[in-house]
Amino acid sequence: MSETEQKLPVTILVPSNFHDHAVDRIERTFSPVRIERADPALVTDEVRSKVRGIASFAGISAAFMDALPNLEIIASFGVGYDSIDARHAAEHGIMVTNTPDVLTEEVADTALGLLINTIRDLPRAETWLRDGSWERNGDYPLSRLTLRGRKAGIFGMGRIGLAIARRLEAFGLPVAYHNRRRVEGLSYEHHETLKGLAEAVDTLISVAPGGASTAKAVNAEILSALGPNGVFINIGRGSTVDEEALAAALANGTIAAAGLDVFANEPNVPPALLAASNATLLPHVGSASEHTRRAMADLCVDNLVSWFTARKPLTPVPETVQVKARA
């Protein structure tokens, strides 16, 4: 709590597990209530009458919002908020905030690390050393792939996409992108369709948000367009990929390799992807440093503090930007 923060007579609901630093600040600044998960069946009469805000990692459904008639704000921990029914929130005068910017550079760093690991096969090279194969069998086999001569395409040119693009330029790679709309003032080559982007590049990095409009957008057609030298990296949302088609593309040589930090049904990873020797897989660690997660925790709680003191959010999501605080 900063020197200007004082204990506020506001009850904040924290469903499921949450970041310890955020919980500590909520306990010092508000009156917290914890429940096992965001399930309307777990909402007691006391919770129903008192709760005015939610701080959550997890998804918040329309039904859960409706179970809390005095709910004013949902402070989501993370930049992605597709698991929150933001449209329903807007329709019912409920503010939704997320934590952009503070995780941009960390996720972009992870994307480049994942790309290099995928192309140069570095995790397996380290295993070769650690298990004694270097000593017994000699040098690790030459990597079939290289970053040299590649052209990168970014699916989703938002804050994180731009940070990745800057890093790719520093590596000497030309960059193109596909967005729902062209980004004004951006000199990178823009493609009106995802297929057009995939056809033009051999390295496709997805930073696209989840939701119905992007569900399984990276499918068999897109992977085929990427081609047999193609590398696919996903640092955005697992729901944007047809995982069955991706596993097949890796197995039959439709693309050369993939690096994935996100999956459609986390923490459950399809066995076919686990079995793919040309896939590098991470357990959703894009923003997972102590430094960045603490910054995300602070922004999450700062949104709550700002809402219940200044009566305005710091980082509202687009769907609820017009929501006003209740009198």
Do 241 and 303 lie in a common domain?
no
**pTM of the predicted model as reported, rounded to 2 decimal places:** 0.93
Do 298 and 272 lie in a common domain?
no
pLDDT in tens, 144-160: 999 999 999 999 999 99
In total, how many domains does the chain have?
2
pLDDT mean across residues, the chain: 96
pLDDT in tens, 203-213: 999 999 999 99
The pLDDT assigned to 1 comes to: 44
Find the catalytic residue in 266, 291, 311, 326: 266
Confidence grade of residue 5 (pLDDT, cut at 50, 70, 90):
low
E-only strand ranges, 167-269: 175-178, 189-190, 203-206, 231-234, 257-260
pLDDT in tens, 295-307: 999 999 999 999 9
**Helix and strand numbers, DSSP H then E, in the chain:** 13, 12
The pLDDT assigned to 3 comes to: 45
Give the Cα separation of 30 and 27 in Å (integer).
6
pLDDT in tens, 99-148: 999 999 999 999 999 999 999 999 999 999 999 999 999 999 999 999 99
Do 108 and 167 lie in a common domain?
yes
Do 81 and 139 lie in a common domain?
no
Do 71 and 141 lie in a common domain?
no
Confidence grade of residue 327 (pLDDT, cut at 50, 70, 90):
confident
Do 147 and 231 lie in a common domain?
yes
Do 139 and 255 lie in a common domain?
yes
Give the domain range for residue 60. Answer: 11-101+290-320
Closest alpha carbon to 150 in 202, 205, 222, 226: 202
In a domain, 256, yes or no: yes
Q: Is the pLDDT of residue 4 over 70?
A: no
Which H, E and C letters describe 70-104, residue by residue? CCCEEEECCCCCCCECHHHHHHCCCEEECCCCCCH
Buried b (16+ CB within 10 A) or exposed e, 54-77: bbbbbbbbeebbebbeebbbbbbb
In a domain, 210, yes or no: yes
In a domain, 327, yes or no: no
Do 125 and 92 lie in a common domain?
no
In a domain, 28, yes or no: yes
Find the catalytic residue in 191, 237, 243, 293: 237
Give the Cα separation of 154 and 185 in Å (integer).
17
Q: Is the pLDDT of residue 6 over 80?
A: no
The domain that holds 89 is classified in CATH as 3.40.50.720
Do 167 and 134 lie in a common domain?
yes
Catalytic status, residue 284: yes
Confidence grade of residue 176 (pLDDT, cut at 50, 70, 90):
very high
pLDDT in tens, 57-94: 989 999 999 999 999 999 999 999 999 999 999 999 99
In a domain, 312, yes or no: yes
Q: Is the pLDDT of residue 2 over 60?
A: no
Closest alpha carbon to 281 in 235, 226, 248, 245: 235
In a domain, 180, yes or no: yes
Do 145 and 194 lie in a common domain?
yes
**Percent of the chain scored above 70 by pLDDT?**
98
Do 272 and 204 lie in a common domain?
yes
The pLDDT assigned to 261 comes to: 98
In a domain, 68, yes or no: yes
Do 132 and 276 lie in a common domain?
yes
In a domain, 5, yes or no: no
Catalytic status, residue 266: yes
